[in-house]
Structure 1
Amino acid sequence: MSSATVPGTVSDESVHTKFQEAGLPNTPEAWLARAQQVSDILSLDAAKRDFEGKTPTAEVQLLKSSGLTKLLGPREYRGGGQDWSIAYKAIRIVARGDGSIGMLLAYHLVWFYTVKIVGTQEQAQRIQKHVLEKNWFLGGAVNPRSADLKVVEDGHGNLVFSGFKFFNTGGVVSDATILEGVLQGRETDNHIFTIVPTRQPGIQFSHDWDNIGMRLSESGSVKIDKVQVPWTDAFGWDSQTKQPIAEILKVPFASSLLPTIQLVFSNFYLGIALGALDEAKKWTTTKTRAWPYGGENKEKATDEHYILAKYGQFHAELRAAEALADRAGEQIRDLFADHGEKRDVSARRRGEVAEWVASVKVVTTHTGLRVANGVFEVTGASSTSRKVGLDRFWRDLRVHTLHDPVAYKERELGRFFLLDEVPEPTWYT
């Protein structure tokens, strides 16, 4: 162990070794306990690592060593065999210790599952098996709002991806990358998802992620330069007819990818907010002083009425948000359990599930930002020291909650409640 390595932190090799020797958990409860162990490790020096802003190589290795990257994998391929209701909780737990790493785990699990939703059964079996056997961590150059990744046919049974993506979460530290682009030369804008090895000349990272929050998520831009992919790896396309089996936004089951992703976001928002309250609690119970000029003065900050009331309010709101998030996670779980094999979900069922997810997005966005900002009111001026790092929770939430405007989720929910309209699938619904 290096003299600079702090025992028990993410850079301590013995931490990784212990997980590898223990093997994968075999029950939902054990998986969540494993996520908690990872979260505890990350929380030890999360503020320091956020301040340094280094590429999270060791952090991603921790996710791989712990087995969390395999959580959704089929058991027959030595995966964890868990469903999304457990995956969402695991994401939330990890984000509670470190928001950036919770986000990386969340995106990896989404990209791992994408082929299961939009690909063929053969593709799902083949690609998931390969990813699990190689213990790959997945990044993704997927940003439908930036439709600047073009796909053309080369005449030799291959597709060629070229273009630029402004955001590419986790790509720099990934083993493989999910690409998404628009096929050229057809009457409609047909999107194609695929998977490619990350380390190749045609994938060129800009290393320009310099935002105020999610500093370790490696979400910078990437240039894609003539990356070749066989037609057989175009998720959900018939390699013989070269036609989509199901256009993603027009088929209810394929479009269930979008609420699945949106609930991933809400769970790491919730984890970050819970982490903020954890850290604030540590500070208030050990550092914060009672205010001596308010009348009916208290000896300890923990006896102050307004501090107790504020913590009580935040605890209640986050507890309610967790219950809502768990209920929505069960809705996603049940949708895939009921319709994953036949892919026969109705537009109505898909839309109702999407509105459960939208409800969580609204609640976790507003509650998370309120908690991450409000903790300073109950910790005091000294907690704003940069070395304390309490601000990282608000910064993380503020950055990612701008992913897509929550006001549109509120409008969507209003139309659902007032007019009984389920939402039309979009790339953000």
Structure 2
Amino acid sequence: MSITSPVTTGLGNRWQDAAAPRDSEEWLDRAQEVADILAVDAVERDRANATPHAEVQLLKDSGLITLLGPVAHGGAGESWDTAYKVIRTVARGDGSIGQVLGYHYLWAWAARLVATEEQITAVEELYTANRFVFGGAVNPRDSDLVIREDGDELVFSGRKSFSTGGQISDLTVLEGVVEGTETHIFAIVPTDQDGIVFADDWDNLGQRLTESGSVEIRDVRVPWGSAAGFVDKVFQPLTYNTLNVPAIQLVFANFYLGIAQGALETASAYTRTTTRAWPYGGGDKQRATDEWYLREGYGDLASKLWADEALLDAVGAEISAVLHAPREELTARRRGEIAVRIAAGKLRIVDDGLEVATKVYELTGARASSNAVGLDIFWRNLRTHSLHDPIAYKKREVGGFVLLGEVPEPTWYT
């Protein structure tokens, strides 16, 4: 890792004496400042693959960690509409850190999704006042954690092969099933305890700084009173509880968009300063930026990302409205309609983003394939996380809605 890294050389809190942002536009400006810092050495830090403690401290210092937290406890009290755009902005500078931030927002909202009013108040005060970062040991493709009852306590045990946030989190969301039943329980626990053991085995093609490796949960004890949404050991269900999946799917789509935007910005800057015009095509150009095929190429890619941004902004406003509305108001139909539109936005940015991350090489030239340029980080990051769940199923959900008016049933992935 570069010893001159702006993230790791102890710059301190550059915002310590700065006024807090006052509205969503100022928070987006703050996010851009963070992205600019991260972008300087994103490639070097990616290759070093070190646990991103300094990067997470940057998110805390900037105030972005508590963007959704209550104002009464030092948070910004902002909307999910703003949070999605902040995720996207940070991901332009570093896709891994954009993902960490997005997952944190979802897990920080987990109490609102499923917990009682008293539990929501306690969790939001805890994480906001302390600027705590969330991770989650919830990967649904693995076996559920097993929960056994021991008097007034629940004891979680098991293993998850993915746990984004991992060692950089302060709080971890657990989810398991009470043995001998079909009762699922969420609980939020401190990460720093003997019963949570990270394997430090995340070494994938992309999104390398997300701390998404495996974790063992060894007899982690939780009071029954901390079982999210349970009253007298009985869960109180709402349709609102199922918004976790469309909310996180839109988190994905927004950091995908940020990664693709970062690729286009990086490539166009390289073309302006370094790419040479092609001298053998007739009507020779003096500058690469005068080449018709480069102008056409950048115009094609930019127009696709602008269209994707418009769709993600529109559906972001839709889900934000229901996330901030009274929980009892959401209907299954409205939830499904929003999920379909998020599926459409996700499938578009996956296709368009991968095209951008690949074609930028054609627009920058052979010299841009140098490892020193680092254009590969964008394709690696987007390709890695876009495999999270099959995009074909998102297309099927949209098709079922268009043809038959069907909305998807809530699952761990829809």
* Distance in 1 separating the partners of 2:17 and 2:224: 39
Q: Specify the alignment match of 1:237 in structure 2.
A: 230
Q: CA deviation at 1:373?
A: 0.8
Q: Does structure 2 conserve the Cα–Cα contact (< 8 Å) formed by 1:290 and 1:300?
A: yes
> Within 5 Å, which residues of 2 pair with 1:181-200?
181-186=176-181, 189-200=182-193
What is the aligned partner in structure 2 of residue 34 from structure 1?
30
1:274 aligns to 2:270 (yes or no)? no
**Quick check: 1:83 aligned with 2:83?**
no
Match for residue 4 of structure 1? 3
Please tell me whether residue 423 in structure 1 is matched to residue 408 in structure 2: yes
Of 219-228 and 175-184, deviating more is 175-184
Of residues 380, 386, 391 in structure 2, which corresponds to 1:406? 391
Does the 8 A contact of 1:100 with 1:216 survive in 2? yes
Q: CA RMSD in A?
A: 1.3
Give the conservation status (yes or no) of the 8 Å contact 2:70–2:128: no
For 1:246-265, what aligned pairs fall within 5 Å after superposition? Answer: 246=237, 251-265=238-252
Once the two structures are TM-superposed, the CA of residue 148 in structure 1 deviates from its matched residue by 3.5
Corresponding residue of 1:388: 373
1:306 is aligned to 293
- Conserved? CA contact 2:134–2:173, under 8 Å: yes
Alignment correspondent of 2:356: 371
Q: Provide the C-alpha distance between the structure 1 equivalents of 2:322 and 2:192, rounded to a whole number of angstroms.
A: 36
Paired residues of 1:140 and 1:169 also in contact (CA < 8 A): yes
Shift of 1:418: 0.6
Letter in 2 for 1:159: L
Query: TM-score normalized by structure 1?
Result: 0.94
Alignment of 1:54-203 (within 5 A): 54-154=50-150, 156-186=151-181, 189-203=182-196
1:97 shift after superposition: 0.5
Q: Residues 20, 182 of structure 1: CA spacing in aligned structure 2 closer, same or farther, 3 A cutoff?
A: farther
User: What is the one-letter code of the residue matched to 1:220?
Assistant: G
Which segments of 5 or more consecutive residues in structure 1 lack a partner in the other structure?
none
Quote the offset at 1:92 in angstroms. Answer: 0.2
Correspondence for 1:48 among 39, 44, 56: 44
> 2: distance between equivalents of 1:193 and 1:371?
38
2:157 alignment partner, SS class: strand
Moved over 4 A (4+): none
Partners in 2 of 1:232 and 1:22 — Cα distance? 40
- 1:217 aligned to 2:216? no
Q: 2: distance between equivalents of 1:193 and 1:297?
A: 65
Distance 1:228 1:96 in 2: 39
Given that residues 39 and 96 in structure 1 are in contact (C-alpha distance below 8 angstroms), is that contact kept between their aligned partners in structure 2? yes
Question: Structure 1: how far apart are the matches of 2:323 and 2:250?
Answer: 14
CA apart distance, 1:301: 1.2
Give the 3-state SS of the residue equivalent to 1:200 in structure 2. coil
What SS does structure 2 have at the residue aligned with 1:422?
Answer: coil
**Preserved contact between residue 213 and residue 398 of structure 1 (Cα < 8 Å):** yes
Secondary structure of 1:253's aligned partner: helix
Is the contact between residue 284 and residue 302 of structure 1 (CA under 8 Å) also seen in structure 2? yes
Partner Cα separation in structure 2 for residue 26 and residue 130 of structure 1: 23
Tell me the SS of whatever aligns to 1:38.
Answer: helix
For residue 226 of structure 1, give the secondary structure of its aligned residue in structure 2: strand
Q: Which amino acid aligns with 1:349?
A: R
Deviation at 1:147, TM superposition (A): 2.3
Deviates more, 1:207-216 or 1:282-291: 282-291
Q: What do the CA deviations read for 1:138-177 (whole angstroms, capped 9, x no partner)? A: 11111112123111111x2111110000001111111111
Assess if the C-alpha contact under 8 Å between 1:205 and 1:223 holds in 2. Answer: yes
Aligned partners of 2:101 and 2:42: how far apart in 1? Answer: 16
Distance 1:337 1:132, change over 3 A: closer
Distance 1:144 1:317 in 2: 32
Q: State whether residues 214 and 395 of structure 1, in contact with CA within 8 Å, keep that contact through their aligned partners in structure 2.
A: yes
CA contact (8 A) 1:54 1:216 kept: yes
* Structure 1 SS opposite 2:175: strand
* C-alpha contact (below 8 Å) 1:147/1:182 kept by paired residues: no
Residue 53 of structure 1: CA displacement? 1.2
Structure 2: distance between partners of 1:368 and 1:277: 10
Could you tell me whether the CA contact under 8 Å between 2:341 and 2:398 is conserved in 1?
no
Report how far residue 50 of structure 1 moved: 1.1
Q: What do the CA deviations read for 1:53-104 (whole angstroms, capped 9, x no partner)?
A: 1110100000011010000011122211001000000000000000000000
Deviations along 1:312-370, one digit per CA (max 9) or x if unpaired, are 01111111111111001100111123333xx2311111111111111111111111111
Letter in 2 for 1:10: V
Query: Are 2:10 and 1:13 aligned?
Result: yes
* Correspondent of 2:315 among 310, 321, 328: 328
Could you report, residue by residue, the CA deviation over 1:279-316 in whole angstroms, capped at 9, with x for unpaired residues? Answer: 10111111111122222222221111111101001111
What is the Cα deviation at residue 23 of structure 1? 5.0
How far 1:27 moved relative to its partner?
1.0
Q: Secondary structure at the match of 1:338?
A: coil
